[in-house]
Amino acid sequence: MNDQTEHYPEGRQSAMLKVSGLTHRVSLETDTLTILQGVSLEINRGESVAIVGRSGSGKTTLLGLLAGLDTPTEGTVELDGAVISKLSEDERAKLRAQRVGFVFQSFQLLPALTALENVMLPLELGGHEAPEKKARELLERVGLGERLTHTPRQLSGGEQQRVAIARAFASDPVVLFADEPTGNLDNRTGQAVSDLLMALNHEQGTTLVMVTHDEHLAARCGRQFNIEAGVLTEPDTHTDEEPVI
């Protein structure tokens, strides 16, 4: 395993995410399963990072820990200056509401709400002054200006993911976590969705942390990490260049 701090000495750039010695274990009926083992990494503001690995390699668990959806067994995660592994569940929720956006493989739209309402939801929860106006703008930006009143069931998979992307950017997050954002989509639609994601990310200057097993998508990120059996490595082929959009 590489020593990440060697490549990104403290203070070189302001870090959005600092992870050190992250280990995660779950207790099963008979024994304990180690899902992540001593993961350390640092991601800077505005960077786009892909974590690539096979099914069961631990990448989704890592994403959950980075985003503060779960707490690690050992180690610390610092997100935008806050040590989230030390925060209470509710403090983490508050942090997520203010600074974090999500895009999921299975879209996770509320079936009871229309496209517009799904995008408005985080805005309303965050106390935004004009949630509907902003939600409309975002939906127009993702090309769904005509589908505002449609419910998820009336939208195709690609359209649903575009609504989810609009929702993710609605609260102006400083960091966006994406879990296999094209995993449920065909190649062409997946391509369109990832184009949109990258473009919005670039426009908003958001830090992007993406988990995927799609190497093409991963290649569009500034940096890539591999994860295998819970151990994170950064291949030597990485570049520090601006991501290709």
Partner 1 sequence: MVASRKLMSIRRDWRERDVRVVLAALMIAVATVATIALFASQLQRTLVSSASSFLAADRQLEAENGRPIPDAWLTEAQSRQLKTGQMVEFSTMVFGADNFQLVSIKAVSNEYPLRGQVEIQLGPDEPRQLVSSGPAPGEVWINPRLLRLLDTNVGDTLEVGNLELEISGLLVREPDGGFRLSALAPRVMMHADDVPDTGVIQEGSRVEYVYLFAGEEAALEGYYRWLQPQLEPSHEWEGVRDGETFSRSLERAERFLLLGGSLAVMLAAVAVAVASRQYALSQRDTVALLKTLGVSSQGIGRLYLQRLGLWGLAGAVGGLVIALPLYWLLSRLLSDVLERPVDYQLDPAALAPSLLTALVSLFAFAYPPIRRLRNVPAMRVLRSQPGESGREALPDLTVALVAIFGLVWMYAGEVSLVLALLGGLILLLGTLALLGWLMVLGLRKIRGGGNAWRLALVGLYRHRRASLSQISVFAMTLMLAATLILVRTSLLADWQAQLPENTPNHFLINIAPDVVEDVDAFWQDRGQPLDQLYPMVRGRFTELNGAPVKEAVTKDERVGALNRELNLTWMESLPADNEIVDGEWFSPGQTRGVSVEAELAEKLGLKVGDELTFTIGSEKVTEAVTSIRTVQWDSMKPNFYMAFPPGGGLEEMPATWITSFYLPPVNKNALNEFSRRYPTISVLEIDHIIERIQDIVRQVTQAIEAILVLILAAALVVMAAVVSATLRDRQREGALLRTLGGRQSLLVRSTMLEFALLGLFAGVLGVAAAEAAVWALQFRMFEGEFQWHWAIVLPIPLLSAVVLALFGRWQLRPVLSVSPMLLLRRLE
- Least distance between partner 1 and beta carbon 193 (Å): 18
Query: Radius of gyration over alpha carbons of the chain, in Å?
Result: 18
- Least distance between partner 1 and beta carbon 208 (Å): 16
For residue 33, report the phi and psi dihedrals to the nearest 5 degrees: -110, 125
**CB of 19 within 8 A of CB of 41?**
yes
Q: Does 186 bind partner 1 (CB under 8 A)?
A: no
Could you say which residues in the range 57-96 bind partner 1, by CB under 8 A? 60-61, 63-64, 69-70, 89-90, 93-96
Which residue stretch of 113-121, 186-194, 215-223, 234-242 sits at the interface with partner 1 (rule: CB under 8 A)? Answer: 113-121
Token representation of residue 130: 């004009």
Q: Is 231 left (phi over 0), alpha (psi -120 to 50) or beta?
A: beta
- Which of residues 18 and 92 has its CB atom nearest to partner 1 in the complex? 92
Element (H or E) spanning 42, and its range? strand 32-44
- Which of residues 100 and 198 has its CB atom nearest to partner 1 in the complex? 100
Q: Does 192 bind partner 1 (CB under 8 A)?
A: no
- Least distance between partner 1 and beta carbon 187 (Å): 20
Q: Does 195 bind partner 1 (CB under 8 A)?
A: no
Identified binder of partner 1 from the candidate list 122, 158, 181, 230, rule CB under 8 A: 122
Name residue 226's beta-bridge partners: 52, 233
Identified binder of partner 1 from the candidate list 1, 33, 125, 229, rule CB under 8 A: 125
- Least distance between partner 1 and beta carbon 161 (Å): 14
Which residue stretch of 6-14, 116-124, 197-205, 230-238 sits at the interface with partner 1 (rule: CB under 8 A)? Answer: 116-124
- Binning the chain into helix, strand and coil, the percentages to the nearest 5 are 35, 25, 40
For 130-144, b/e burial (b = at least 16 CB within 10 A) is ebeebbbebbebbeb
Cα distance between residue 82 and residue 71, in whole Å = 14
Size of interface with partner 1, in residues (CB under 8 A): 33
Neighbours of 237 (CB within 10 A): 7
Token representation of residue 100: 């974090």
Number of H helices, E strands in the chain: 8, 10
Q: Does 169 bind partner 1 (CB under 8 A)?
A: no
Contacting positions for partner 1 (CB under 8 A): 60-61, 63-64, 69-70, 89-90, 93-98, 100, 102, 104, 108, 110, 112-113, 116-118, 120-122, 124-126, 131-132, 179
